[in-house]
Structure 1
Amino acid sequence: MTNNIYALLVAIDEYPSPVPSLNGCVNDILEIQEYLQGRVAADGDKLHIRTLLNRDATRQAVIDGFREHLCQASSEDVAFFYYAGHGSQEQAPQEFWAIEPDRLDETLVCYDSRTEGGWDLADKELAKLISEVDQNNPHTVIILDCCHSGAATRGELEAETAIRKTSTDKRQRPWDSFIFSLSETEKLSAALSPEKNPSGWSFPTGKHIVLAACRDSETAKEYNSNGQPRGAFSYFLLDTLKKANGSLTYRDLFKRANALVRSKITAQSPQIEAT
């Protein structure tokens, strides 16, 4: 039986000022896109890709990518979201304070997030979008090569390495800028327990695998591979997949990639969460 793989691939290197630019995000996504195209064709499945790069990766475009593209995945299909770019935090509305002791939401920084009238994509909005995808019960895989908190310092060898984190958005965000109603927040927001969610991201229950570049107290760094900038996590994850010819469980894939990242990069510990 031919299965469908719906992939939403998002990479942002070139942000409008004042968000600092990155170097390896687009490289990461183009590499994973090429890998998926070859791998899925070899397996006889059908691949549906929507790729958003730089200025195309607006907040609304990412939301539409979930609702118009990933939500097509059914129970025999895979819904795959890969984000490479800046992560950050923003001031949480008072309604979230009970589940966010630091009063901050974790966020993905879309291309237009820090422009006038723009906002980040909050973790609870990401949870809402994933829950919408999950209505048809596909197998959902989320990979985040970014970070959102912490102040880990870099050693001398990494002094020129870019970090995929930008400053906290301290604007007071209006409630009507979120994609859900107030009544949905309790249902969508899982308790942020360090034991249950070491990556710091909060997701709804369902068949989900989440691979995150680092713990919530660390930073996701870029890595130079033969002169080509890449995300350290993305590079070693894909390198592991290629060498194993794709025949790995998620747990084994994570263990190998994690060991490689930690051997090359200081203060970065990738995380895996499965439900």
Structure 2
Amino acid sequence: MEKGKKRLAVLVGCNYPKTPNELHGCINDVLAMREMLTKRFGFDLSHIELLTDAPESVVKPTGANIKKALDRMVDQAEPGDVLFFHYSGHGTRIPSLKPGNPFRQDEAIVPCDFNLITDVDLRQLVNRLPKGASFTILSDSCHSGGLIDKEKEQIGPSSLNINSTSLSLSCTPKKIPFESILQHLTSLTSINTSDIGTHQLELFGDDASFQFRLPPLELLDLFGPSNSKPTDEGILLSGCQANETSADMSPTTGGGKAYGAFSNAVQTVLKEHLGQLSNRQVVLMARKLLQAQVFEQHPCLYCSDENADATFLWQQIDLAS
């Protein structure tokens, strides 16, 4: 990477404390990633925005706050810049509103206020990138495969079956079912409808996802084949396939820290291999590690052919120092 080019990151950890959806390792995941970004990948701490729902956090990872942070990052991007978004928290699937896909489900992440950020929102961010900048998303959440709408699958659904076995860990899936999200939103809006978009617009207005705010024809125009780029610089490393769950791990013995299985696997791979690794290598090694640890999730990679073999985070620093 050329001297003077920026490395920018937004790190989001949602533990949903004192709620029925509580997780334990998500904030630990992004704190560990922040340390790795600064020590291993040359990120300046002032260029890393951290959003968590820890009790002491002043700015919480609501849908609006996460999107504002991502917008700020993309808005200041220039050719050659490296952008990174690490999300650790719950994911979900929602009925697709996209024209031509009446039976599909779309992927979304679940901020602490349930203002969903969908695959359409992440596609819109990638589309805004200046040519020559890269945007890597690492999503440690359930149903995270395909979180950038229309991004090309490089490493995807696997037919590999893994038999569960007992571990000295307590595992919680990072998933909130659609029905639970709908029930929660209905309790807030008091509107009797199963249309999640109605609830999202009622609660969040202009801060709701593009998926719920744009008319179907505008969605088709914005994200349809006629407007899709032959290649783009969006890179998604997902913790699992679109139909799978990602694990949040809480050690039951020894007093160890809780963590997300995928976040931990990626960080382990990077610590054990100090040379440059491609995006493909990072995902394949994380898959192998999770398989050895008997997890029933399969990390995936979505990006262009060129970016599949590009260096993870385009690192160009002396790793021996």
TM-score by length of 1: 0.80
Over aligned residue pairs, what C-alpha RMSD do you find?
3.0
> Whole-Å Cα distance in 2 between the matches of residues 189 and 92 of structure 1?
13
For residues 150-197 of structure 1, give each alpha carbon's deviation from its aligned partner in whole angstroms, at most 9, with x where no partner exists: 9x9993525830111112133421366433532431144468xxxxxx
Identify the range of structure 1 (180-189 vs 246-255) with the bigger mean alpha-carbon deviation. Answer: 180-189
> Whole-Å Cα distance in 2 between the matches of residues 251 and 154 of structure 1?
25
Check whether the contact 1:92–1:105 (CA below 8 A) recurs between aligned residues. Answer: yes
**2:214 matches 1:181:** yes
Q: Which residue of 2 aligns with 1:241?
A: 270
Shift of 1:70: 3.2
Question: Counterparts of 1:105-116 in structure 2 under 5 Å?
Answer: 105-113=106-114
Q: Which residue of 1 aligns with 2:100?
A: 98
Shift of 1:243: 1.6
Shift of 1:205: 5.0
Q: Which residue of 2 aligns with 1:140?
A: 135
Gapped runs of 5+ residues in structure 1? 114-118, 192-202
Residue type of the alignment partner of 2:238: A
Question: Counterparts of 1:116-265 in structure 2 under 5 Å?
Answer: 119-132=115-128, 134-135=129-130, 137-148=132-143, 155-157=164-166, 160-168=170-178, 169-170=181-182, 171-172=194-195, 173-174=197-198, 177-179=208-210, 181-182=214-215, 183-189=217-223, 206-224=232-250, 227-265=256-294
> Whole-Å Cα distance in 1 between the matches of residues 214 and 231 of structure 2?
19
Q: 2:73 aligns with which of 55, 69, 75?
A: 69
TM-score by length of 2: 0.69
Shift of 1:124: 1.1
Shift of 1:123: 1.6
For residues 96-148 of structure 1, give each alpha carbon's deviation from its aligned partner in whole angstroms, at most 9, with x where no partner exists: 2522523x3321100111xxxxx31122122222322x145411101110013
> Whole-Å Cα distance in 2 between the matches of residues 248 and 178 of structure 1?
34
Identify the range of structure 1 (223-232 vs 25-34) with the bigger mean alpha-carbon deviation. Answer: 223-232
Say which SS state the counterpart of residue 108 (structure 2) adopts.
Answer: strand
> Whole-Å Cα distance in 2 between the matches of residues 271 and 27 of structure 1?
22
Shift of 1:8: 0.6
Structure showing greater Rg? 2
Check whether the contact 2:164–2:294 (CA below 8 A) recurs between aligned residues. Answer: no
Q: Which residue of 2 aligns with 1:197?
A: none
Check whether the contact 2:171–2:248 (CA below 8 A) recurs between aligned residues. Answer: yes
> Whole-Å Cα distance in 2 between the matches of residues 273 and 255 of structure 1?
13
> Whole-Å Cα distance in 2 between the matches of residues 111 and 269 of structure 1?
25
Q: Give the total of aligned pairs.
A: 251
Check whether the contact 2:77–2:130 (CA below 8 A) recurs between aligned residues. Answer: no
Shift of 1:54: 1.3
Percent identity, aligned pairs only, is: 26
Residue type of the alignment partner of 2:244: E
Residue type of the alignment partner of 2:164: G
> Whole-Å Cα distance in 1 between the matches of residues 73 and 275 of structure 2?
24
Say which SS state the counterpart of residue 33 (structure 1) adopts.
Answer: helix
Say which SS state the counterpart of residue 173 (structure 2) adopts.
Answer: coil
> Whole-Å Cα distance in 2 between the matches of residues 204 and 83 of structure 1?
27
Q: Which residue of 1 aligns with 2:53?
A: 54
Check whether the contact 2:126–2:234 (CA below 8 A) recurs between aligned residues. Answer: no
The change in CA–CA distance for 1:99 and 1:190 in structure 2 (over 3 A counts) is farther
For residues 179-229 of structure 1, give each alpha carbon's deviation from its aligned partner in whole angstroms, at most 9, with x where no partner exists: 3532431144468xxxxxxxxxxx995112210011112110123576211
Residue type of the alignment partner of 2:140: D
Residue type of the alignment partner of 2:276: S
